Amino acid sequence: MPQSLKPKIVFIGAGNLATNLAMALFNGGYQIIQVYSRSQVSAGNLSSKVNSPFTTSLKGIIQNADLYIISVPDKAVREVVEQMPLNKGLVVHTSGSTDISVLSKFGVNGYGVFYPFQTFSKNRIISFENIPICIEASNDDSYNKLYLIASSISNSIIKMDSSTRSWLHLTGVFTNNFTNHLLALSQQISKGKGFDFNLLKPLAIETIQKAFDISPANAQTGPAIRFDIDTIKLHVEKLKEYSPELADIYKALTLSIQSSIHKED
Amino acid sequence: MPQSLKPKIVFIGAGNLATNLAMALFNGGYQIIQVYSRSQVSAGNLSSKVNSPFTTSLKGIIQNADLYIISVPDKAVREVVEQMPLNKGLVVHTSGSTDISVLSKFGVNGYGVFYPFQTFSKNRIISFENIPICIEASNDDSYNKLYLIASSISNSIIKMDSSTRSWLHLTGVFTNNFTNHLLALSQQISKGKGFDFNLLKPLAIETIQKAFDISPANAQTGPAIRFDIDTIKLHVEKLKEYSPELADIYKALTLSIQSSIHKED
């Protein structure tokens, strides 16, 4: 659709997700007509990237936009909503763990959730093409509007209710935060023991590829699933000397792998 | 070098690593002149793939090969070595956690370690091109032979002693086994809560890419590192209802993420 017919958007928030989403929409031809952040630096940075004015006051949010995207830390959504003035547009948040009902004060014009399921950083602008976008809306008209916008930047749109989305978000913690932490622990060891962390990259890539090709249950290898007690003991002893905390993580995950087999018996 | 000059190889073992390595060498023009496995099925399967005879008796291993690759489970290496007859070739094992000295009985002709750092499955034959191969040898001549072979199938050859290799192997458990298990737990939740596990794939891929691009310490996001107590509590409560074991894993890894920040203060 021509730019003049595309919804005009206000971004409330200028963090990692907001920055990536605003850039994707801006590059997709949408007009971002205002950016709010309580931080002047953040608001200024994002607004300069998407060629829009900004405000640092929730009361200063303009009221005639078509779409308001609240993309602030999960714990701040409720407070932001309370302080936002009513408006004439559709209001959505982008939080995985926050119920749609937090937006009910915007009931008249519709409200919804627009949740791109990915890890974002401000200084790493990534393509939305393959990012699943989970949509929920208070009515069909709002849903259709959100679907149109989502499908203009991504190939993967999923209708998902708040409860399911909160579980998806939780698996994101396992898949991203915890996996990244295992890499951080590995990097810590590589530094301490004098080998290049990049040696782990082909293994890490193949781990993901294999898990999604043949399912993680079928992809599991290593001492835990083989019940290779000698190697496990050796590893725990080495880790105990190096870092008792790492030894505990090792033991907990080894037991969890072994008990997951048990469950399939 | 022409095939006639390439070392003739005996494979002792026909498991996941042995199968992938034998195929890579066979496809690289090496002659596999015998495969040993105590399992007739495994020995037969691999030998048919690399066009070689096989034996199921360690005493039946021929003695005039140039290279013997012992690729059996870590816990079986010592026993296999004890039972193997002496021979005229170079003997290596492929075990990350086993010291080179286990091979000292083969001292006359040289011995070594040839450790491809990757996760392998028999039914998933992968390219060795980017797989780091860690080499260690009892003398320079043996090292040079192994280097030549490794560099004919991979671009990434690393000289590494047994102690460092054992730590690399241990980080492999974190990077592969434990990461794969986090995906298995995520898949378990996706099945229980009715969303497609494949929604996690773009996130999992970006997690790895980002960690190696900007380092995992810089890539960490999510409730743990933000000390977002509300979301963490919500997650733990949800998990407790769903599976107390998952809640424990969640808590342990969250604490570990948080304590790793502390250490950098």
- In the chain, the amino acid numbered A52 is S
Give the pLDDT confidence score for residue B263 in this predicted structure. Answer: 53
Identify the H or E element spanning B136.
strand B133-137
**pLDDT tens string A98-145:** 999 999 999 888 999 999 999 999 999 999 999 999 999 999 999 999
**pLDDT tens string B237-248:** 999 999 998 999
What is the distance, to the nearest Å, from the Cα of residue B34 to the centroid of all Cα atoms in its chain? 23
pLDDT band for B255, please (50, 70, 90 cuts). very high
Portions of chain B given CATH number 1.10.1040.20:
166-264
Chain A CA closest to residue B199:
A132
Portions of chain B given CATH number 3.40.50.720:
3-160
What is the rounded average pLDDT for all residues in chain A? 94
Chain A contact for B62 (CB, 8 A cutoff): no
Give the pLDDT confidence score for residue A63 in this predicted structure. Answer: 93
Does residue B1 surpass a pLDDT of 70?
A: no
Q: Going by C-beta distance under 8 Å and a sequence separation of 6 or more, which residues neighbour residue B242?
A: B189, B192
Q: Spell out which residues of chain A touch residue B98, defining contact as CB-CB under 8 Å.
A: none
With respect to CATH, is domain A166-264 assigned 1.10.1040.20?
A: yes
pLDDT band for A265, please (50, 70, 90 cuts). very low
Percent of chain B with pLDDT strictly greater than 90: 89
pTM: 0.93
Which among A242, A2, A170 is positioned nearest to B223, based on CA atoms?
Answer: A170
Q: Spell out which residues of chain A touch residue B252, defining contact as CB-CB under 8 Å.
A: 248-249, 252
Of the candidates A97, A119, A194, the beta carbon closest to that of B221 is on A119
pLDDT band for A262, please (50, 70, 90 cuts). low
Interface mutation target, options A79, A157, A159, A186, chain B, most CBs of B under 10 Å: A186
Q: Spell out which residues of chain B touch residue A219, defining contact as CB-CB under 8 Å.
A: 119, 121, 180
Tokens representing B45 are 């399967």
Between vectors from CA A138 to CA A133 and to CA A141, what angle results, nearest 5°?
Answer: 80
Percent of chain A with pLDDT strictly greater than 70: 97
Of the candidates A132, A214, A252, the beta carbon closest to that of B202 is on A132
What mean pLDDT comes out for the span A206-217?
A: 97
Does residue B2 surpass a pLDDT of 80?
A: no
Give the pLDDT confidence score for residue A230 in this predicted structure. Answer: 87
Give the pLDDT confidence score for residue B265 in this predicted structure. Answer: 38
pLDDT band for B264, please (50, 70, 90 cuts). very low
Distance CA B159, CA A193 (A): 14
Contact A74, A99 (CB under 8 A): no
Chain A CA closest to residue B129:
A202
Identify the H or E element spanning B183.
helix B179-193
What mean pLDDT comes out for the span B130-134?
A: 98
Cβ distance B245 to A257 less than 8 Å, yes or no, reads: no
**pLDDT tens string B153-198:** 999 999 999 999 999 999 999 999 999 999 999 999 999 999 999 9
What mean pLDDT comes out for the span B116-143?
A: 96
| DSSP secondary structure letter of residue A121 | B
In CATH, the architecture of B3-160 is 3-Layer(aba) Sandwich (3.40)
Give the pLDDT confidence score for residue B15 in this predicted structure. Answer: 96
**pLDDT tens string A144-199:** 999 999 999 999 999 999 999 999 999 999 999 999 999 999 999 999 999 999 99
Which among A155, A152, A104, A95 is positioned nearest to A131, based on CA atoms?
Answer: A155
Chain B contact for A240 (CB, 8 A cutoff): no
Contact B100, B112 (CB under 8 A): yes
pLDDT band for B209, please (50, 70, 90 cuts). very high
What is the rounded average pLDDT for all residues in chain B? 94
Interface mutation target, options A160, A253, A254, A261, chain B, most CBs of B under 10 Å: A253
Give the pLDDT confidence score for residue B230 in this predicted structure. Answer: 87
Chain A contact for B172 (CB, 8 A cutoff): yes
What mean pLDDT comes out for the span B55-67?
A: 96
ipTM of this complex prediction, to 2 decimal places: 0.95
Give the pLDDT confidence score for residue B261 in this predicted structure. Answer: 74
Q: Spell out which residues of chain B touch residue A235, defining contact as CB-CB under 8 Å.
A: 97, 170, 173
Q: Chain A: nearest CA to B29, how far in angstroms?
A: 24
Contact B43, B55 (CB under 8 A): yes
Sheet holding A67-70, edge to edge: A54-55, A32-36, A9-12, A67-70, A90-93, A111-116, A133-137, A157-159
What mean pLDDT comes out for the span B9-13?
A: 98
